[in-house]
Amino acid sequence: MTDSILVLNCGSSSIKYLMVAMPAATHLARGVIERIGSDQGSWRHADGDGDHIEARHIPDHRSGVEMMLARLGGPAQPAGSTAIAGVGHRVVHGGGKSTAPLLVSDAVLADLDELAVLAPLHNPASIAGIRATRDLLPAVPQVACFDTSFHATLPARAYVYGLPYELYEQRGIRRYGFHGISHEYVAQRCAELAGRDPDDLNAITCHLGNGCSITAIARGQSIDTSMGFTPLEGLMMGTRSGDIDPAIVLHLAGPTGLGSVEEVGELLQEHSGLLGLSGVSNDVRDILAAAGAGQERAALAVDVFAYRIKKYIGAYWAVLPSVDALVFTGGIGAASAAVRRLILDGLDQSLGVVYDDERNSAASGQVEMEIGGAGSTARVFVIPTDEELAIARITHRLVKPAATSAEDGFKLH
Ligand code: ADP
């Protein structure tokens, strides 16, 4: 008996979706709707009938969801023969209350509405996707999977900021951490590949994509992570600054600064990081090419990027009881041998982490590979993430608990 599960990942102007037949996770359809709200909207959809690419104006998330469901439910389409058993939604911010995935109810939606204040850039799109899918498929259960849930195990010393305590108590200002679905997924895969019990694994997982974060995992649980109150803190990213002295914000938004708080916010979110530093691009491939052609700022940008990751690895090494494995994932982490080399070089001297450069070079196409070398203190893995698959598993488990009790060994939150 198989169940079709639809996964929706709504961004501020995009909807990525995947439909799979569970429990085998056979892909039935996959697609992406982009530039919602602009005149240059586009839709790519692939299923058993082939690829469909279309340019069209998609006014809002609701029309995008309508268009997608019509295609999924049309004659001879994936959902035409098998009804959708559940829809899983990626929600970036679960706040302090949502420490596990939830079946969506009116009360859950009301809580999500309140949380939009904490994640104005991310949550409203997910909420729009959930509302549209609920309206259009009223009989199908919906599941909200939070990027923050995996980090619900952070101890207070890792999530409390050095600010007046009332700000935490009254306004929820604390570290939440993000990319949790990805960190948990790769930690589980790492345990499988290493032949370890996931509840016993001590690891440092590096998710390096457009957004970048790093997590310290002790006995299968997140004990510290680099993103904080929002996904702006921590590592330097494609266009986000990551850690900076907070006084820089005060200076830039002050009387002799650059502009309003909103403008400084935009600078930190969209014009900083690899893009701002290199002046070339937010894409590591372009920056490496520019650095190779002698552009000094490009070389500096990748140097800073890798140096910061190295520093966080050292910090997390110090707080973990031991480190069984170091894991790289994300568009950069799982594809760029050059960036991994910059991060790993020298760690043999400081932490005893040895890598095999031939295997590292070979791991450049989003494939699972162990790249650690002989005598390394920790194993080193490249593991492409699959957040949609993780959400499909969680959703299936919540909507069909009886069918999933004997499923694979995955114990995702
Ligand atoms: P997101 O964080 O949006 O999910 P991804 O994890 O897909 O993004 O990562 C996208 C980024 O990965 C791109 O901005 C690009 O810089 C980087 N990337 C993709 N392929 C490569 C590659 N072969 N080498 C280096 N960087 C790559």
The 10s digit of each residue's pLDDT in 25-44 is: 999 999 999 999 988 899 99
Ligand 1 nearest atom to the CA of residue 284, by list position? 16
Residue 157 CA to residue 330 CA, distance in Å, equals: 28
Residue of minimum CA distance from atom 23 in ligand 1: 335
Return the closest-CA partner of residue 200 out of 380, 312, 328, 323. Answer: 323
Q: What angle do CA 184, 331, 188 make, to 5 degrees?
A: 20
Q: In the block, which residue shows the tokens 């990942």?
A: 9
Task: Choose which residue among 18, 181, 210 to substitute to test ligand 1 binding: the one with the highest number of ligand atoms within 8 A of its C-beta.
Answer: 210
210 lines ligand 1 (CB under 6 A): yes
333 lines ligand 1 (CB under 6 A): no
Q: In the block, which residue shows the tokens 């006995």?
A: 219
Cα→Cα distances 113→109, 117, 119, 126, 306, Å: 6, 8, 10, 10, 37
335 lines ligand 1 (CB under 6 A): yes
Share above pLDDT 70 across residues of the chain, in percent, rounded to a whole number: 95
Check: CB of residue 301 under 8 Å from CB of residue 267.
no
Residue 290 CA to residue 31 CA, distance in Å, equals: 32
From first CA to last CA, the distance across the chain in angstroms is 24
331 lines ligand 1 (CB under 6 A): yes
- Report residue 292: phi and psi, to 5°: -60, -30
Exposed, middle or buried by CB within 10 Å (0-12, 13-18, 19+), for 222? buried
284 lines ligand 1 (CB under 6 A): yes
Ligand 1 nearest atom to the CA of residue 274, by list position? 16
| Long-range contacts of residues 216-220, Cβ cutoff 8 Å, at least 24 apart | 216/316, 216/319, 216/320, 217/183, 217/187, 217/320, 218/320, 218/321, 220/187, 220/191
Angle, in degrees to the nearest 10, between helices 246-253 and 261-270: 130
Residue 180 CA to residue 175 CA, distance in Å, equals: 13
Q: Among this protein's residues, is 147 annotated catalytic?
A: yes
Residue 146 CA to residue 143 CA, distance in Å, equals: 10
Cα→Cα distances 240→9, 89, 124, 162, 407, Å: 21, 25, 20, 22, 39
Beta bridge partners of 46: 30, 51
Check: CB of residue 154 under 8 Å from CB of residue 175.
yes
Residue of minimum CA distance from atom 15 in ligand 1: 283
Task: Choose which residue among 16, 237, 332, 389 to substitute to test ligand 1 binding: the one with the highest number of ligand atoms within 8 A of its C-beta.
Answer: 332
Residue of minimum CA distance from atom 16 in ligand 1: 283
Residue 388 CA to residue 186 CA, distance in Å, equals: 13
Residue 355 CA to residue 341 CA, distance in Å, equals: 9
Q: In the block, which residue shows the tokens 């949550």?
A: 123
Exposed, middle or buried by CB within 10 Å (0-12, 13-18, 19+), for 247? exposed
376 lines ligand 1 (CB under 6 A): no
332 lines ligand 1 (CB under 6 A): yes
Ligand 1 nearest atom to the CA of residue 212, by list position? 2
Residues of the chain short of pLDDT 50, as ranges, are 75-76, 80-81, 406-413
The sheet with strand 142-146 has its strands ordered as: 50-55, 42-47, 26-34, 15-22, 3-10, 84-91, 142-146, 102-103
Ligand 1 nearest atom to the CA of residue 365, by list position? 23
Return the closest-CA partner of residue 214 out of 176, 253, 177. Answer: 177
Candidates 147, 224, 324, 386; catalytic one: 147
Ligand 1 nearest atom to the CA of residue 288, by list position? 25
Q: What would the pLDDT profile of 225-280 be if each residue is shown by its tens digit?
A: 999 999 999 999 999 999 999 999 999 999 988 899 999 999 999 999 999 999 99
Return the closest-CA partner of residue 320 out of 201, 151, 153, 233. Answer: 201
User: What pLDDT, on the 0 to 100 scale, is given for residue 406?
Assistant: 46
231 lines ligand 1 (CB under 6 A): no
Tokens matching residue 305: 């990027």
Beta bridge partners of 148: none
166: phi > 0 → left, psi -120 to 50 → alpha, else beta; which?
alpha
336 lines ligand 1 (CB under 6 A): yes
